[in-house]
């Protein structure tokens, strides 16, 4: 069965993505070991996630609260889950209690959600929760994220007022048609420069989560440390089958 799983379409696609990340890292003089590939399993069944897990992968992400709390108990506990969708305040505690192996929330975009996460971590008594601050680099009203001009202030709040959170870096979602992708990525990199200067840390201590199926190679070349890959690994999303 293990061999069959390794030969499954998703596992083959994963290997292709890892190879492409390696090539992009080589082109930009970076080490691929410093780049995390997050397999985003939105709308996909647990059985398919298992196949990618059996191929040796351990980093998975979900956009929807309901999906991650339903899937995580059915999967091995050594998976490192990232929540990458918009998080409502009333879902914070159920998320943290329902997913004990939640490694990171990538979508902190205001002080309110940071405060809710901080309190919930303390009340539950779990270890520090790693977080990324989401930045709206495209200026689209439909996108969540703090404005780049408010990025440093929000990061400072997380670092000074939220002792149960560990600030790890910045995240952005580029435009869906990828027309302004380089600008979006460069904006996030500029935000990192400002954040690191304000905090007195080196840029290697501040992750950049940027790049998805359509633009992850460019993202790697422009400094991404965390690419979020869904359809390229798992195939087109199946909203009609979503539970």
DSSP state of 128: P
User: Are 109 and 134 in contact, with CB atoms under 8 Å apart?
Assistant: yes
Q: What percentage of the chain exceeds 90 in pLDDT?
A: 85
Q: What is the CATH number of the domain that holds 146?
A: 3.20.20.10
Rounded Cα distance, 203 and 187, in Å: 15
Residue 241 lies in a domain: no
* Torsion sign over Cα 163, 84, 32, 183: negative
Rounded to 5 degrees, φ, ψ at 57 are -85, 145
Residue 235 lies in a domain: no
Residue 210 lies in a domain: yes
Total domains in the fold of the chain:
1
3-state helix, strand, coil in the chain (%, to 5): 50, 15, 35
Q: Which residue range is the domain that position 77 belongs to?
A: 9-229
Residue 135 lies in a domain: yes
Residue 99 lies in a domain: yes
Residue 234 lies in a domain: no
pLDDT digits (tens, 9 = 90+) for 70-103: 999 999 999 999 999 999 999 999 999 999 999 9
Residue 142 lies in a domain: yes
Q: Is 32 exposed, middle or buried (0-12, 13-18, 19+ CB in 10 A)?
A: middle
Residue 77 lies in a domain: yes
pTM for this model (two decimals)? 0.93
pLDDT digits (tens, 9 = 90+) for 113-162: 999 999 999 999 999 999 999 999 988 887 899 999 999 999 999 999 99
Torsion-angle region of residue 17: left (phi > 0), alpha (psi -120 to 50) or beta?
A: alpha
Q: Given this model, what pLDDT does residue 8 score?
A: 84
């Amino acid at each position: 069965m293990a061999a069959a799983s390794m030969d499954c379409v998703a596992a083959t696609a994963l290997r292709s993505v890892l190879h492409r990340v390696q090539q992009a890292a080589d082109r930009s003089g970076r080490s691929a070991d410093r780049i995390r590939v997050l397999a985003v399993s939105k709308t996909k069944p647990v059985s398919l996630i298992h196949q990618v897990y059996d191929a040796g992968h351990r980093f998975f992400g979900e956009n929807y609260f309901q999906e991650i709390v339903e899937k995580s108990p059915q999967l091995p506990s050594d998976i490192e889950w990232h929540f990458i969708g918009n998080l409502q305040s009333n879902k914070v505690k159920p998320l943290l209690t329902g997913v004990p192996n939640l490694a990171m929330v990538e979508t902190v975009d205001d002080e309110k959600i940071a405060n809710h996460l901080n309190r919930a971590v303390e009340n539950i008594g779990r270890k520090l929760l790693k977080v990324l601050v989401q930045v709206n680099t495209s200026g689209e009203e439909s996108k969540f994220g703090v404005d780049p001009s408010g990025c440093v202030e929000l990061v400072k709040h997380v670092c000074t007022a939220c002792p149960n959170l560990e600030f790890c870096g910045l995240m952005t979602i580029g435009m869906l048609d990828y027309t302004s992708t380089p600008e979006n990525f460069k904006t996030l990199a500029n935000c990192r420069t400002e954040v690191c200067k304000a905090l007195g840390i080196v840029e290697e201590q501040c992750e950049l989560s940027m790049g998805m199926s359509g633009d992850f190679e460019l993202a790697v070349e422009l400094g991404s440390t965390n690419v979020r890959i869904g359809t390229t690994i798992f195939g087109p999303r199946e909203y009609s089958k979503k539970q």
